[in-house]
Each structure stands twice: as C-alpha cells, then as structure tokens.
Amino acid sequence: MNTEDVIRTFVEYYEERGHHRISGSTLLPPPGDPVLFTTSGMHPLTPYLEGRPHELGRRLVNVQRCLRTTDLEEVGDPTHLTVFEMLGTWSLGDYEGPQSLDWGYGLLTEGFGVDPGLIHATVFGGDEQVGPDTAAEQMWQRHGVPVERTVEDNWWSNGPTGPCGPDSEIFIWTGDTPPQSTPTRDDRWVEVWNHVMMRHRRLPDGSLVPLPQRNVDTGLGLERLASLLQGKNSVFEGDVFTPWRRRVPGLWDLDEPSLRLVCDHLRSAVVVIGDGVRPGNTGRGYVLRRLVRRALTVLWRDDPSRQLGDLPAELVSHTLDHFRQTTDPDEVRRVLLDEERRFGGLLRRGRQVLARPRFQGTLDEEDLHYLHDTHGLPRELVLSLRPRPEPEISEMS
C-alpha cells in the first residue's frame, strides 16, 4: 500500500461514516494561533472546535501538512520528520471518544490489515482536575487491546492556553520479537494515532472550563503508518523518500544518519519555501534558515565542495507535487542557492575573524556580542566554528 493508497483508504472509510473532506491548509497557521507553523491538523479548525458551526457539518476528515521543530533533534531516528502529513478526523460536538476509537480500531485492523495482536493503547489516567478516561479504557478492553494509563502523555494541548483534553493514543509494535512491555517502557511501540477528547479550554490561570461542545480531534501520522504497512522500519524507507534514496546517495556519499538528516531538512525546506516563507533571522524565516544551514553543515563537514546546485531538480518538483504546491521549482532552487551563498560567505568571514589572536582563548559574553554586532556572526555559528573542548577524562572509581 503506497502513501496515496493509505490516504484514499482513510478518507473513504470516514466518508462512508458521514465525514466531509476538507482541503488541508498550508503550513502557516491562521492569524491569532500561538504557533509559528501548523503542528497538527487541528490548527486550522480551532474556531470550529470552539463552537463556530462549520459549513460542511459536524464530521470532517482531511490531510494536513505539519511542521514540528520540537522534534528537530530527533530527526534521523526511525519515526520523526520535520515536515510530515497528518490524516485527521473531527467530531465537532457530534459523536464521542469511544465511537472515534472504535472506528479507528476498525480501520487499522480491517481497512489496513494491522494484526490486532500488535496494537496497544494508552488512555488518560486522571489528575486533580479531570478524572480518568474510563469510557476509552472500557472500549479498548472490549476489543481485547491492552491499555496503559498515563497522565501527562495522555493530555493534549495546543499551547499553555486554549482547547485541550485527555487523549487516547494507538501504538503498533515494531519489534522483531512478539510484543512485550508497554508504550511508555519500550519504544518499539510506535505511536501512530492520537484521539483527543477536545472538550476543555485552559485559561491563563491554569483552570479549565468546558468548551461549548464536546469534540473529538484525531491525528494519524501518515508517513509512519505508510512505512509500517510497507514493512519498513523507518519513515525514511517508506515510498515518499524513494526518489531521495535513489538520487542523493549517488550525489553525496553520506552515512545513514547524515543521509536522513539531509533528506529530511532539504525536503522540509522545499515545502516551507513552497508555502511562501523566505530565510530570515526571526520567526518562520529563521526556522527555514536553520533547516538549510543544518543540512549544509552536515554536507560540508566531509566535503566543502558539495553544492545545493547539484540537488536534482526532480526532487524539488516531486516534493512540490506531492504537497500540491504551485510554486515554481526554479524559485525554490534560487532561494536555496541564495541561502547557501550567504551561509558560505558567513562561514568564511567567521573563520577569518576567529583566527585573530583576540579570539584564541575562551570567548565570553562580551566577545559573542561583539562578533554578532560588529561582524554579523550569530552565536550559534561562532560556537560551531570553535574547536570542541577535549572531553574531560573522569576518574573512574
């Protein structure tokens, strides 16, 4: 089942259950949303979760591209991508959590053919403000699915204030042995789908008030599920990365972690540029700048002659097409090359300045400010150009 088949199966399953497909939004959340980028399918739907009637009704389904910078350091492991797609469903004050979980279980096991014995669930165990989600727990028990209760891991919010609620997460076993342990104790349980009972609003003083309606908001990680259904152990081996895996290793000889990071960051940068962001020193532009510079840092570590100009045009167009973006691929390449030139210039200048006797010792805050204000060298860049201190040899007792 390729990624497009997964999307089709998902959407049709929910359409058969009265959901209307809405088109996904760009990575830029609506005005007033507290996040820089859309990190979940619910962002564009916040007003409707808060009670505004949606013109297409109370049951919705979609595919939404998302970007998570919180996961940046985890990129390269088998499950995290910077830009990914989320398949989402919503009950806007219509059916409740157990119904959503029941359908979710049906789709995974019958629609996608996941072995029921490889599924584990988690549910909210309750805290001093909200009681345990026994309705979700009982639903799982009826299906014979093992359930683990947690507190923080099973509470979803979009930020410190706003719509939030207890959730129930669905995990699939990816180990080579028969399933064992539980999702919080063994990371071979991979989370694929989160069902949030979105029925509270958190106020700035930390208290909770009920939303005008009891919603369910679910999000399923598309690349994760697709790669698992394809029998692959990592999202980087799923079909969306096939063109990258075919072209990049012949171009740049990279070890597996570097290959994953470079493919993830360049692919993400293409999508971000495709949604209209340009590199800058603040906000979204800075996120884009970091993605491109992190990829270049890895590429140049072994061979400073590597160039983004060699990136096959086909990879840019394939990515834009996949995300149905209409930006001209040449414009995307121009932005990438501009940023590469700028970063290359900055590195050269940084090396020259840092070679001066004044900067040979330890750099203090004043030096870092001076390098930034007078020479335009960001702290992060300066620190990356300094030789790493030798690790201290600790006395073993």
Q: Return the SS3 of 301.
A: helix
Q: Is 87 in the site for ligand SER (CB under 6 A)?
A: no
CA 21 to each of CA 7, 53, 79, 324: distance values in angstroms, whole numbers, following the listed order: 11, 16, 27, 16
The token pair that represents 93 in the structure block: 């004050």
User: What angle do the packed helices 313-322 and 329-354 form, to 10 degrees?
Assistant: 120
Q: Which of 137, 163, 149 is nearest to 43 (CA)?
A: 163
Please pick, from the candidates 41, 93, 279, 350, the single residue that binds ligand SER as defined by CB under 6 A. Answer: 41
**What DSSP designation does 108 have?**
I
From the CB of 191, what's the least distance to ligand SER, in Å? Answer: 9
Residue that has been written with the tokens 């971000």 in this structure: 272
From the CB of 159, what's the least distance to ligand SER, in Å? Answer: 12
Q: Is 183 in the site for ligand SER (CB under 6 A)?
A: no
Q: Is 92 in the site for ligand SER (CB under 6 A)?
A: no
* Shorter beta-carbon distance to ligand SER: residue 168 or 319: 168
From the CB of 210, what's the least distance to ligand SER, in Å? Answer: 18
Residue 91, H or E segment: strand 83-91
* Shorter beta-carbon distance to ligand SER: residue 217 or 223: 217
CA 140 to each of CA 169, 207, 221, 383: distance values in angstroms, whole numbers, following the listed order: 11, 30, 21, 50
Of the listed pieces 35-43, 243-251, 295-303, 341-349, which binds ligand SER according to CB under 6 A? 35-43
Q: Is 89 in the site for ligand SER (CB under 6 A)?
A: no
**What DSSP designation does 243 have?**
H
From CA 148, how far away is CA 130, in angstroms rounded?
Answer: 17
Q: Is 64 in the site for ligand SER (CB under 6 A)?
A: no
Q: Is 196 in the site for ligand SER (CB under 6 A)?
A: yes
Q: Which of 301, 298, 280 is nearest to 289 (CA)?
A: 280
User: What angle do the packed helices 97-106 and 134-142 form, to 10 degrees?
Assistant: 30
Please pick, from the candidates 194, 227, 234, 319, the single residue that binds ligand SER as defined by CB under 6 A. Answer: 194
From the CB of 276, what's the least distance to ligand SER, in Å? Answer: 23
Query: Which residue's Cβ has the minimum distance to ligand SER?
Result: 219
Q: Is 156 in the site for ligand SER (CB under 6 A)?
A: yes
Please pick, from the candidates 44, 88, 93, 163, the single residue that binds ligand SER as defined by CB under 6 A. Answer: 88
CA-based angle 40:73:261, to the nearest 5? 95
Q: Is 62 in the site for ligand SER (CB under 6 A)?
A: no
From the CB of 220, what's the least distance to ligand SER, in Å? Answer: 8
Tell me if 167 sits within 8 A of 124, measured CB to CB: yes
Please pick, from the candidates 22, 42, 226, 295, the single residue that binds ligand SER as defined by CB under 6 A. Answer: 42
> Binding string to ligand SER for residues 210 to 229, with x set by CB under 6 A, is what?
-------xxx----------
Residue 147, H or E segment: strand 147-150
Of the listed pieces 34-42, 124-132, 176-184, 275-283, which binds ligand SER according to CB under 6 A? 34-42
Q: Is 91 in the site for ligand SER (CB under 6 A)?
A: no
Cite the DSSP H helix spans in 167-241: 222-229
> Where along the sequence are the contacts to ligand SER (CB under 6 A)?
40-42, 88, 156, 194, 196, 217-219
